[in-house]
A and B are shown apart, each in its own frame.
Chain A
């Protein structure tokens, strides 16, 4: 295959639709006689509903029906019917199941009205009487009650920590060089721009077309069919465009359940969208408290790694993520003790959020490593190189490829690291202390079985489809590039379609595995199509009859005999000669388990950061950052760069800005709006540079794709924290690093 488009900075094929507004999102599909829902959420964290007063709401003009636990139509009885592809072990939350309140913000009633405004107004008139019970929502108050997580299907993709090796605690204590820390992360919410919405189009008895915001149309299709007892083929879920999701779309959210329920009950089309506050009433990145104790010998070789994490989960599901496995994947150590525990609280179930676990765990690991380097009196880069490994120590398998050393080199050069004075507080500009810090990133390169279909038509156009998603990642574009190269066609003649459960099977899109999984499927479908083309050609033209598959070049939209024994045959001619005037191939892209299982497959990054810290106010500003990424083949440096930039911005946000703050008296998030939940603004983002160090890795998959969704983020928070330490001499291990934590002050408190 000649790579004409793969590796090129092709602009987003969906860019124009997005910037001109013609790209439609779930809440923008209009059908005649659409009804509008609006949800009422609980205002207590635990207890029972005694009474919901609906009289005033019912009296509002246009209100059609109000659903509560008392009158909602019955749905599936068994809990497993509610388990979606990303459901952790436990019993999934079922909206309005009964009168029990299990978290603050839980949906407890839904108004359906003729207009959105009527529904919203009526919702404001609903009052609820509760029998309140004591709730627990503060992780810090219950750390001693943490326990091991339950195991379930989700554990397959998210294995628990490996067994302890050696005597990590003892060796740590005896180590001449030691570093330890306690790391605190608050809760974060995904907050994509587009809020969750479902437009459910009632197509007749037991038949629905659903426009939903999701990272997995088939996941939602299965969920709806199972929960409401509908035949799969009668449920079509469409999600062509997703305005950001970051993991929040990996599970069907409550608006989907409620909109479908109302639509089936009323036999009408129904739309239900969430408002910004409601975006804080389902999954979140869990709060965690981590402890590290790393030890090294006299020459700086790591000999003990202790890393434990306690995260919160809900009372009904054991949400887990990989927090503590990373240190030993990056650094060899004969003694390791990794522990991961949960404490159930009266909150919504946490959910995967960009780089789940990695963004949390690597902060603790990489800050502890930085401290260890300081204790060993070594440069943090040199220290990492001394402890470098090409072997994943948790599985004792080699990496399929790992260009991390080269990442360090290129990023350090670009950044000018060699000019660094290692002494904390040694660099300044006027009132600003300057700090330079680095960190390493790692994320797994996963791949899941995915199916795609390639269709050639007589006009010479190719359409490839798969039920995967593009939530801004560039899937539309890179898949079209892969298909064009696989078929030897002009990109302009190729289009890729996604986001429709009627399309060939794709799993949920997350964990950085979409490009590798879907890319392999696209390649398989194109290969299938090429074989079919040859078969047809063999029947049409004598010169091709004897030709083997390998004797043909598939280029310029046609079949070319490599030995030039005859004229080429164009795809058009072949397709035109078929009865159906189309040629199709549907194929599964399988991960090559035989090759893959002997290796650990991962992406790596090296992040170099400069911060300015105002010496009086403690305000931290990231003035520049260089990220070098080794992530296999870069399909499209333009969309790839955007992915990494997004991760870097997120990293700034995680290190310095974001946190959902709960008032534990109410078990409620108090800054649940974009005015008070501080995401970075343009003025917070300065000079960001991205370097790709390509890897030629045929073990991950034929195309060498590893995935980029998470790797841009994971190392940024620790690199910033390490830079803050270099600037100030102070370790702030409690994220976000806000000014009050950096400035030194002693003030009277009431």
Chain B
């Protein structure tokens, strides 16, 4: 851990200004990811700007359009157990609760969850090359131990995955992200927020330095009737997803009228394929149709030495989860 300065920001504008002023400054919310990274010398911020004292960022409030606003500083646990989330967005509640542990979820914030970094072993180990940690040094995971790595959307510079569970549900629900910064406020569609590694794997998302996430908006449709979240991992709890699937369906007269499938553990971002969702429209919710959708989602998937099994695993997980969402699983 390096030495750093610490400032508690009184409001969002000050936080953004402090951040903008120092290229090596970083925000800290729950600290459950950032402090680990600092202890490992992976993150070495010169200044920490604590946003926990900022008023008004931890609320969960209804929106005029029937949606729900989740404050960036609302804790993961408070979000998952909020009555409106439980009722209207059970997919989100379930996704959050499948992540980390109770203690971590109590500390972790919604903003921090979206900004958490990959769990690639090499990213964490400063004695090994890693393009995400030190651009230009190479990717150790390619040709190394890559069990938890990407099968979709990876590049020659990085095959890391984005580890969040919460974000798979947010992607499936078509959430939007409210951001403030030196150039004012902007709104980002959730599926545009995280990016693929390309040749700039050091960038996880499109947030600019100086910007701060203030809240996340959920649209009215929570898919609360037909939803399912499935997380497959190496132990029953307290492990990151090898494959995670968030599914929301709308069914009418035995046909699928609307479908959302977002996959975690497969790529550098929650993976959605609108073609697969469109394919399902007006189809009957049966195994064969979900298999066809899974094939579309997984089109172009590539495995490495230790993770090739994830391609078939993901396909079976998508099918199982969609059947569960349609209440067709026994």
> Interface of A with B (CB < 8 Å)?
43, 117, 120-121, 124, 430-431, 616-617, 619, 621, 657, 661, 663, 665-666, 668, 670-671, 673, 675-676, 678, 680-684, 738-740, 743, 745-750
Contact = CB atoms under 8 A, between A and B. Distances in A.
Interface in B214-234: 232, 234
B212 interface: no
B234 A748 contact: no
A749 B304 contact: yes
Instruction: Find the residue from A121, A617, A683 having the highest chain B CB count within 10 A.
Output: A617
Contact of A745 (B1, B305, B313): B313
A313 B312 CA distance: 37
B237 A682 contact: yes
Given A666-B128, A668-B128, 5 more contacts: A124-B1, A616-B317, A678-B234, A683-B238, A740-B309
A657 B140 CA distance: 24
B303 interface: yes
Contact of A684 (B143, B235, B304): B235
B125 A670 contact: yes
A743 B237 contact: no
A404 B236 CA distance: 33
A638 to B, nearest CB: 27
B324 to A, nearest CB: 10
A616 B140 CA distance: 31
A117 B1 contact: yes
Interface string B300-330: 0011110011011100110010000000011
Contact of B312 (A668, A671, A673, A747): A747
A668 B237 contact: no
Contacts of B237: 681-684
A171 to B, nearest CB: 40
Interface residues of B, number: 38
A619 B232 contact: yes
Given A430-B330, A750-B304, A657 B234 contact: yes
Contacts of B128: 663, 666, 668
Given A124-B41, A678-B234, A681-B235, A670 B121 contact: yes
A616 B235 contact: no
B49 to A, nearest CB: 21
Contacts of B121: 670-671, 676
Given A619-B232, A748-B311, A665 B305 contact: no
Contacts of B190: none
B144 A683 contact: no
Given A617-B232, A681-B237, A743 B313 contact: yes
A344 to B, nearest CB: 23
Chain A at the B interface: SS class: loop
B239 A661 contact: no
Contact of A680 (B1, B140, B235, B305): B235
B233 to A, nearest CB: 9
Nearest to B230: A617
A666 B3 CA distance: 30
A52 to B, nearest CB: 15
Chain B at the A interface: SS class: loop
Contacts of B3: 121
A301 B121 CA distance: 50
A681 B238 contact: yes
A552 B65 CA distance: 91
Instruction: Find the residue from B1, B309, B311 having the highest chain A CB count within 10 A.
Output: B309
Contacts of B144: 663, 665, 670
Contacts of B81: none
19 contacts: A117-B1, A657-B235, A661-B145, A663-B145, A665-B144, A670-B144, A670-B145, A671-B145, A675-B119, A681-B236, A681-B238, A738-B234, A739-B313, A745-B311, A745-B312, A748-B302, A748-B311, A750-B302, A750-B304
Interface in B227-256: 232, 234-239, 242
Nearest to B121: A670
Contacts of B316: 616-617, 743
B31 to A, nearest CB: 16
B127 A668 contact: yes
Contacts of B311: 745, 747-748
B234 A663 contact: no
Interface in B255-308: 302-305, 308
A749 B317 contact: no
Contacts of B122: 670
A275 B143 CA distance: 28
A618 B62 CA distance: 42
Contacts of B320: 431, 616-617
Contact of A747 (B1, B140, B234, B303): B303
B5 interface: no
A90 B46 CA distance: 48
Contacts of A739: 232, 234, 242, 309, 313
A566 to B, nearest CB: 65
Contacts of A430: 330
A495 to B, nearest CB: 36
Interface in B165-223: none
Contacts of B143: 665
A673 B330 CA distance: 38
A682 B302 CA distance: 34
